[in-house]
Amino acid sequence: MSLDDVLDIISALLVLVGAFLTLAAGVGLVRFPDALARLHAATKPQVLGLIAIVIAVAIEARSWQVLLTLIPVLLFQVLLAPIAAQMVGRAAYRTDNYRADLSLVDDLAADVERATSDAERANVDTDRTDRDDRA
Amino acid sequence: MTVTLGVLYITIGVLFTGGALAALYRIVVGPSLLDRLIASDVLLTTLILVVGAEMVYNGHERSIPMMLVLAATAVLSTIAVARYASGQGTRTKEGS
Q: What is the rounded average pLDDT of the residues B71-81?
A: 87
Task: With respect to residue B4, please indicate whether it lies within any of the assigned structural domains.
Answer: no
Query: What pLDDT sits at residue B20?
Result: 93
Shortest Cα–Cα distance, A135 to chain B (Å): 26
Give the A:B interface size as CB pairs under 8 Å: 198
Q: Is the pLDDT of residue B96 over 60?
A: no
Query: What pLDDT sits at residue A125?
Result: 67
- Test B42 with A45 for CB contact under 8 angstroms: yes
Q: Which tens digits make up the pLDDT trace of A20-66?
A: 999 999 999 898 888 888 888 888 888 899 999 999 999 988 888 88
Find the residue in B nearest to A35 (Cα): B35
Q: In A, which residues are within 8 Å of B93 by CB distance?
A: 116
What confidence category does residue A132 fall into, taking pLDDT thresholds of 50, 70 and 90?
A: low
What confidence category does residue A126 fall into, taking pLDDT thresholds of 50, 70 and 90?
A: low
Q: Is the pLDDT of residue B73 over 70?
A: yes
CB A52 within 8 A of CB A14: yes
> Chain-wide mean pLDDT for chain B?
84
Shortest Cα–Cα distance, B62 to chain A (Å): 10
Query: What pLDDT sits at residue A120?
Result: 83
User: What is the largest distance, in Å, between two alpha-carbon atoms of chain B?
Assistant: 65
Please tell me the total count of domains within chain B.
1
The structural domains of chain A, with segments of one domain joined by +, span 3-103, 105-135
Q: Is the pLDDT of residue B94 over 50?
A: no
Task: With respect to residue B3, please indicate whether it lies within any of the assigned structural domains.
Answer: no
- Test A27 with B22 for CB contact under 8 angstroms: yes
Q: Which tens digits make up the pLDDT trace of A97-113?
A: 777 777 777 777 788 88
Give residue B34's Cα distance to chain centre.
14
Task: With respect to residue B81, please indicate whether it lies within any of the assigned structural domains.
Answer: yes
Classify the C-alpha dihedral A85-A86-A91-A94 as positive or negative. positive
Number of other residues whose CB lies within 10 A of the CB of residue A32 = 20
- Test B56 with A29 for CB contact under 8 angstroms: no
Q: Which of A66, A73, A69 is nearest to A18 (CA)?
A: A73
Which range is least confidently modeled, A104-118, B16-30, B71-85? A104-118
Q: What is the rounded average pLDDT of the residues B34-58?
A: 90
- Test B34 with A35 for CB contact under 8 angstroms: yes
- Domain hosting B65: range is 12-86
Task: With respect to residue B58, please indicate whether it lies within any of the assigned structural domains.
Answer: yes
Q: Determine what percent of chain B is predicted with pLDDT higher than 90.
A: 40
What confidence category does residue B92 fall into, taking pLDDT thresholds of 50, 70 and 90?
A: very low
CB B79 within 8 A of CB A84: yes
| pTM of the entire predicted model | 0.82
Query: What pLDDT sits at residue B47?
Result: 92
Indicate the residue type of A117: S
Q: Which tens digits make up the pLDDT trace of A115-125?
A: 888 888 887 76
CA–CA separation, A23 vs B21, rounded Å?
A: 9
